[in-house]
Amino acid sequence: MSAEEPVASQESRTQVRQMLLIGAVASAFGIAFALWIEWFPAQASTQAPTIDTLWDVLLIASVPIFVLVETIVLYSAIKFRMKPGEELKDGPPIHGNTKLEIIWTAIPAIILVGLCTYAYVALVDIEKAEANTMNVRVVGEQFTWTFFYPGEGGEEIGSKQLYLPAETPVRFTVQSKDVIHDFWVPAFRMKIDAVPGIDTHVRVTTTTRTGEFPVVCAELCGLGHSAMRQSAHVMSRDEFEDKLAELSEEPAGGGGGDEGGAPETDGKTLFTDAAEPATCGSCHTLSDAGTTGTTGPNLDETLPNLSEEQIRQSIADPEAEITEGFSPGIMPNYGESLSEEQIDALVEYLMEVKGR
Ligand code: CUA
């Protein structure tokens, strides 16, 4: 026994060295691969680079741990597997190893404290308040977002699309009308839950990058969750001012006659355009409108069997009668959010399509 011992420990030392070498090489490849992957869309906020760097640091810290564990598992399974004739053989009994235990407690503790400190510093940095911040109220509901800008005389300007000026700090106040949603613009990297009954806040500072970025809901909120997608349009300050002026005129035009309010009273536009208060097409298929939504009934199939009264009821009081195979509580009650005129326009359009 005493003669074998040095040989055995020398062999095991070689095995440990082999494992560490394989682990180190595999970790290097793993880190290179992880950093090569394009995880996120283009950066469109000043917070985005901070988040992306944090992500890279977390990858560099966690990939070697995963790779080393996998290396030891695979190496042991191959190298130390039971060979024929070794059925009764067992390894030496081990009762604790203080040195090893201290090492495997201390190293993860140091890594965790380091990463938490770094993440906290990054969080304070991305959440800091800036001068001349613009306020936007975001309201989530099944299954749409509405954005409100402070207007003149305390009146808010509502919009179905998010418009933001470039290079501007924005503070979003996020609310929900029904269940928990999550306001997320991946290009901004910032995201916050919309919780019924409370206001949550998130800050984003836009950069010089203008364009259209998806606004999505990141909390499973019901059958139409995947349809809860709109757009954030980042534009120059001038374009934004024009847009806001245009939006503030819209509600006034809707109440009056036909002049100026044409897009709002056109049933087909109401049906298809995501900028309008109703976006029927994101949930309903209707070939005349070119929409392919599948959350709600296919109107190509159901429309021919509906009377004008039933169509009107489906829009203004959708809970009154639910199409077989669909659940209640999914279709928003447009009797509350659309004007009488808009509902008339939608019904008129659908009756027209039905008649074809
Ligand atoms: Cu709202 Cu998912």
Locus of tokens 């042991």: 76
For residue 96, the model assigns a pLDDT of 85
Q: Give the DSSP H or E segment for 137.
A: strand 134-141
Please work out whether the CB of residue 67 comes within 6 Å of at least one atom of ligand 1. no
Q: From ligand 1's centre to the CA of 220, what distance in Å?
A: 5
- CA gap 253, 234 in Å, rounded: 26
Is the pLDDT score of 335 beyond 80?
Answer: no
Split at pLDDT 50, 70, 90, the class of 7 is low
Please work out whether the CB of residue 141 comes within 6 Å of at least one atom of ligand 1. no
Q: Which of 12-16, 108-112, 234-238, 265-269 shows the lowest mean pLDDT across its residues?
A: 265-269
Q: From ligand 1's centre to the CA of 223, what distance in Å?
A: 9
Report field, pTM of the whole predicted structure over 0.85: no
Is the pLDDT score of 249 beyond 70?
Answer: yes
More confident position, 337 or 158: 158
Q: From ligand 1's centre to the CA of 222, what distance in Å?
A: 7
Is the pLDDT score of 56 beyond 50?
Answer: yes
- CA gap 225, 217 in Å, rounded: 7
Q: From ligand 1's centre to the CA of 130, what distance in Å?
A: 29
Which residue's alpha carbon is nearest to atom 1 within ligand 1?
181
Q: Apex CA 98: angle with CA 96 and CA 101, to 5°? A: 90
Q: Which atom of ligand 1 approaches the CA of 219 most closely?
A: 2
Per-residue b or e along 179-191, where b marks 16 or more CB atoms closer than 10 Å to that residue's CB: bebbbbbbbbbbe
Please work out whether the CB of residue 203 comes within 6 Å of at least one atom of ligand 1. no
How many angstroms from the chain centroid is the CA of residue 274? 18
For residue 203, the model assigns a pLDDT of 94
SS3 per residue for 144-158: EEEEEEECHHHCEEE
Token code pair at residue 206: 């836009």
